[in-house]
Structure 1
């Protein structure tokens, strides 16, 4: 990634995924701040209260977007992509949406969003509490976490996955900001969470879909790719029209 001095002024709002936390976005954040970009990484309400869901998350991210110096690039990772697709709708300061590890959601209710909550054995759903969470030890010591760089592994150990409100998968999608805002979709070649059907739809729908040589965890393995797209958008926005 080219992070040379003189990057045009602007902001990036980076939104974390399910069970995640703002610190997970730190590798992307540091690259952007090094390039002179104002960065905000909101902590989603759905990861602090079971009473919050997608709609409250979108409200919080919209508030952050409005607080940032324009132009603004909105970056989502995994579930964070769903959030920016709602939060950025109608926000004139947002010049680019960057979807990392997910394809944009269409308006409405998708039953597939809830079916995976308590199907895998490594996810525990507590319907009385209204939350679900990933088995952090399994993830870090047996599964994908074993592939992360050492500094990322240490971060995950210090910051275990947090329960998220089940409502993030049941709230309807009320808006699709990607219909009116330029969008880049970054998908890991080995991302098992993105289906072939979703990849085909994205390729048919968006002009800028990029295959990245990694898995679902672009923000850990390839943060320079995510940050680089944001810098491209901010530089393009500064060009004379």
Structure 2
């Protein structure tokens, strides 16, 4: 008798685990073990180590799901985590060795991303680091253009910042997507990560790709598309 995989979700920057709520409820109702890991957003290596420490406590196979910066994290975290059987990138970064989320997509090749100095504010901490937030005026457009105004406002108010260290953190050698089956969901109206860039990274990773008409907050505005993508990965494991 096959064992259903545990479905582990890692959120990205400017968000928290509550963004996965609809998909978590759906999958839980279908009888899958699910877990949403709070991403620390402090640095790529440290964040991946923290997720990997959680994976080490899970018995049986795992499907690891990442949104946005969380995609970069799962590509690192799954390396050396022998129970991870598949990766799912949701409007996400999939980095190769030496790349960071700041450098992986050339804006001339992949235009349209609105996340940058004009739409963010840095709140310094320590001597050399800072926290990056999306500004009040730009949050809805950049992150949640197809989310209702009230929900988008709450997402802005509760956004978790990304440290500059995490923004510039580079991936190590042998990302996990080189050795694991991958799925990817492209958000076709994403103003944070250009959709063409998402697709290029997913193709490079050899992912099975689907798409949906959505903003960057696809897990909030199109949770059914996220659920379908995760289920496809889970079925390949089970």
> Does TM, normalized by the shorter one, top 0.5?
yes
Contact 1:113–1:169 under 8 Å retained in 2: no
Quote the Cα distance in structure 2 between the aligned partners of 1:58 and 1:197. Answer: 22
Quote the Cα distance in structure 1 between the aligned partners of 2:114 and 2:229. Answer: 31
TM-score by length of 1: 0.80
Quote the Cα distance in structure 2 between the aligned partners of 1:201 and 1:150. Answer: 31
Equivalent in 102, 123, 126 of residue 126 of structure 1 = 123
Quote the Cα distance in structure 2 between the aligned partners of 1:117 and 1:163. Answer: 17
Which residue in 1 is equivalent to 2:95?
105
Question: 1:45 aligns to what SS in structure 2?
Answer: coil
Query: Would the alpha carbon gap of residues 10 and 24 (structure 1) be closer, same or farther in structure 2, given more than 3 Å must change?
Result: same
Quote the Cα distance in structure 2 between the aligned partners of 1:144 and 1:170. Answer: 20
TM-score by length of 2: 0.81
C-alpha deviation, 1:147, in angstroms: 2.6
Quote the Cα distance in structure 2 between the aligned partners of 1:73 and 1:230. Answer: 8
Quote the Cα distance in structure 1 between the aligned partners of 2:93 and 2:207. Answer: 13
Q: Which moved more, 1:53-62 or 1:169-178?
A: 169-178
Which residue in 2 is equivalent to 1:173?
171
Matches within 5 A, 1:1-241: 9-46=4-41, 52-110=42-100, 112=103, 119-129=116-126, 130=129, 131-136=131-136, 138-140=138-140, 145=144, 147-149=146-148, 152-153=151-152, 156=155, 160-175=158-173, 176-192=175-191, 193-194=193-194, 196=196, 199-200=199-200, 202-203=202-203, 205-238=205-238
Number of aligned residue pairs = 225
Quote the Cα distance in structure 2 between the aligned partners of 1:197 and 1:38. Answer: 32
Quote the Cα distance in structure 1 between the aligned partners of 2:177 and 2:158. Answer: 32
Quote the Cα distance in structure 1 between the aligned partners of 2:225 and 2:208. Answer: 14
Which residue in 1 is equivalent to 2:110?
none
After superposition, the CA RMSD in angstroms is: 3.0
Structure 1 unaligned residues grouped into runs of 5+ = 1-6, 47-51
Contact 1:82–1:105 under 8 Å retained in 2: yes
Q: Which moved more, 1:205-214 or 1:194-203?
A: 194-203
